[in-house]
Structure 1
Amino acid sequence: MNSATVAQFYQALSKDNLDQLPTIYHDDVVFEDSAHHVEGINALSAYFTQLYENVEQCQFEIEEQHDHDDVGFLVWRMTLIHPKLNSGKRVIVPGVTHLKFQDGKVIFHRDYFDMGQMLYEQLPILGSVIQFIKRKLGQ
């Protein structure tokens, strides 16, 4: 397995094919993102099921993929439509995934992205405050 296989999987991922996670992920996978740390394929499947429950659209565009031995990296753009974010309009978030492979599957998956850009800035009151702070920090 390599990052190209994972990239293809994520470009096709939807709430309708979450049952395919065990074909990509090792039973003992460790998955981390800006808000969660999940261990094991069953916990990962439950996490993804919860994530996709209210999502109207979540698509990944893979811009780059790199591999070296049993390590891979993906550079991506996620387009997300969720009724509670950005008034139900799309949110585009860039990110990077660090992957480690073992026994032909992903044993470690860590996503790096701006949680503020994806979530906090999309909430009605908090979003305005965070955007104000970012503008002030940029001056």
Structure 2
Amino acid sequence: MMEKLIETFYTALNNSDGKTMASCYHDDVVFEDPAFGILQGERAKSMWLMLCESQNGKGFKVEFTNIKTDKNRGSAHWEAYYNFSKTGKKVHNKIDATFIFKDGLIIKHTDVFDLHKWAKQAIGLKGMLFGGMSFFKKKLNTQTNSLLEKYMEKKKLSN
């Protein structure tokens, strides 16, 4: 049953369907990844809405494999293929995800990927030089969260 939830989540991501993705999350969800840091509740759901909206129809593709679940936990490997919006550069990001479930939904979702490798692809030379440094991650988190704030304000989504 939880395996189906993860399949639904990533199929929705591949289809740029943020609403379905958000419906897989518990209201008290905690999401974490290198690009956004830690997001909770509506902020985590809104991140997927924002990302799906921005990628819709732009050649975004997701492949997911190796889904493993039990009653309370799960994991998956997924790969995203897209052009980074700020630079137009092609990105192939390889991500390992872990999940904790509650009430039949995802309550904790952690994505792990090589931020330095992502930065080299997405940003180029500056990403290659600085992508592995903590100040880069901090600046990226600030920028992504600022974009999320603006998106939520525009869409009148609660924080």
**Band the TM-score falls in, shorter-chain normalisation:** 0.7 to 0.9
Contact 1:93 1:113 in 2 (8 A): yes
Aligned counterparts, 1:77-116, within 5 A: 77-85=79-87, 88-116=88-116
Judged with a 3 Å threshold, the aligned counterparts in structure 2 of structure 1 residues 58 and 103 are, in CA distance, closer, same or farther, namely same
Instruction: Tell me which protein shows more strand as a share of its residues.
Output: 1
How far, CA to CA, are the matches of 2:119 and 2:128 in structure 1? Answer: 12
Backbone CA RMSD of aligned residues = 2.5
How many aligned residue pairs are there? 128
Q: Which residue of 1 aligns with 2:63?
A: 61
Judged with a 3 Å threshold, the aligned counterparts in structure 2 of structure 1 residues 81 and 109 are, in CA distance, closer, same or farther, namely same
CA distances 1:102-130 after superposition (whole Å, capped 9, x unpaired) = 00100000001111222344314314536
TM-score, normalised relative to structure 1: 0.76
Q: Which has the larger radius of gyration?
A: 1
Q: Which residue of 1 aligns with 2:6?
A: 6
Judged with a 3 Å threshold, the aligned counterparts in structure 2 of structure 1 residues 12 and 53 are, in CA distance, closer, same or farther, namely closer
How far, CA to CA, are the matches of 2:6 and 2:95 in structure 1? Answer: 15
Instruction: Tell me which protein shows more helix as a share of its residues.
Output: 2
* Shift in Å, 1:16: 4.9
SS in 1 for 2:46: helix
* Shift in Å, 1:3: 3.3
How far, CA to CA, are the matches of 1:119 and 1:129 in structure 2? Answer: 9
* Shift in Å, 1:29: 0.3
Judged with a 3 Å threshold, the aligned counterparts in structure 2 of structure 1 residues 53 and 17 are, in CA distance, closer, same or farther, namely closer
Deviating 4+ runs (over 4 angstroms) = none
Aligned counterparts, 1:8-47, within 5 A: 8-13=8-13, 16-35=16-35, 36-40=37-41, 42-47=42-47
Structure 1 gap segments, 5+ residues each: 132-139
Structure 2 gap segments, 5+ residues each: 132-159
How far, CA to CA, are the matches of 2:81 and 2:102 in structure 1? Answer: 29
Contact 1:98 1:111 in 2 (8 A): yes
Contact 2:98 2:111 in 1 (8 A): yes
How far, CA to CA, are the matches of 1:109 and 1:32 in structure 2? Answer: 6
Percentage identity across aligned positions? 27
TM-score, normalised relative to structure 2: 0.67
Judged with a 3 Å threshold, the aligned counterparts in structure 2 of structure 1 residues 44 and 15 are, in CA distance, closer, same or farther, namely farther
User: Is 2:125 the partner of 1:125?
Assistant: yes
